[in-house]
Structure 1
Amino acid sequence: MTFDAIGIAGSALTVHRKWLDAVSDNLANMNTATRTSGKAFQARYIEAAEGSNGNGVYVKSTPQGSATGRLVYQPDHPLADAQGYVRYPDIDLAEQMGALIVAQRGYQANAQVVDRARETYQAALEIGKS
């Protein structure tokens, strides 16, 4: 049972780390401008799924956001087209910050599960030595 807890929480740690990586990439690139003839930075999202027989979770896919983005009128921007527009990713800061908090708390919770399971296993070993 203890090893199951460590394995399940460990798989969740991996999923939450990948989620944190995706959110940080999205936040770091939300103000990346491109020419209107190009694609906007595409946000990354993490889709998790239950592992076989309930043994943890895994990243099922990493869908990307729209490459269309949003057009912003900035005629003084060096990448502006003839009409004065540049393309930015369509990333919502509030949504990403919410996801960041949830992913961080999930990571912390699963790290605590691993610690508690390890402590339980060590206590069982100490009892066995007596």
Structure 2
Amino acid sequence: MTIFGAIGIASTGMTVHRKWLDAVSDNLSNANTVRSSDEAAFQARYVVAQEMTGGDGGVQVAGIALGSAEGRMVYEPDHPLADEEGYVRYPDIDMSSQMTQLIMAQRGYQANAAVVDRAKATYEAALQIGRS
């Protein structure tokens, strides 16, 4: 693998981790989205990653998996969207799990960014050696 290959692989990792961060932030921002009981709850987004075949390799987003549309029913009789029995539907999103995923995605992004920086520094050092 060349230095450019390392940069390419790390950049694919950065892309996947950025999309993972986007999905987690979407889930966190909609964790308290209320719907009426006859509507589907907000569905959490989960990034599905897969290995890239051919070339230098790397990773890519294979798709987005959606969480349950069933959600959880909460008794809030004063809510404007409550049904006759006083229930509304919230998404079934676990905040602690989402925060854990947020930290993992951030650290993965940072690790890939560090690889890009180191590969760039190595390439620049090689150019300096070649000039001497």
Give the TM-score range, shorter chain: over 0.9
Aligned pairs for 1:22-61 (under 5 A) are 22-53=23-54, 55-61=57-63
Question: Is there any run of 5+ residues in structure 1 with no aligned partner, and where?
Answer: none
Mapped to 2, the partners of 1:123 and 1:55 lie a distance apart of 25
> Could you tell me how far 1:126 is from its partner in structure 2?
1.0
2:131 alignment counterpart: 129
1:20 alignment counterpart: 21
2:118 alignment counterpart: 116
Mapped to 2, the partners of 1:122 and 1:51 lie a distance apart of 28
The TM-score, its normalising length taken from structure 2, stands at: 0.96
Mapped to 1, the partners of 2:83 and 2:10 lie a distance apart of 49
The size of the alignment, in residue pairs, is 130
> Could you tell me how far 1:61 is from its partner in structure 2?
1.2
Deviations 1:93-129 (A, max 9, x none): 1110110000000000000000000000011111111
2:6 alignment counterpart: 5
> Could you tell me how far 1:42 is from its partner in structure 2?
0.5
Runs of 4+ in 1 over 2 A off after TM superposition: none
1:78 alignment counterpart: 80
The TM-score, its normalising length taken from structure 1, stands at: 0.98
Percent of residue pairs identical: 64
Mapped to 1, the partners of 2:80 and 2:120 lie a distance apart of 55
> SS at the partner of 1:52?
coil
Give, as a single letter, the amino acid of the residue that structure 1 aligns with 2:58. Answer: G
Question: Is there any run of 5+ residues in structure 2 with no aligned partner, and where?
Answer: none
Point out the structure with the larger strand share: 2
Q: Give the one of 58, 65, 68 matched to 1:63.
A: 65
Mapped to 2, the partners of 1:77 and 1:105 lie a distance apart of 39
Q: Give the one of 87, 99, 102 matched to 2:101.
A: 99
> SS at the partner of 2:66?
coil
Give, as a single letter, the amino acid of the residue that structure 2 aligns with 1:104. Answer: Q
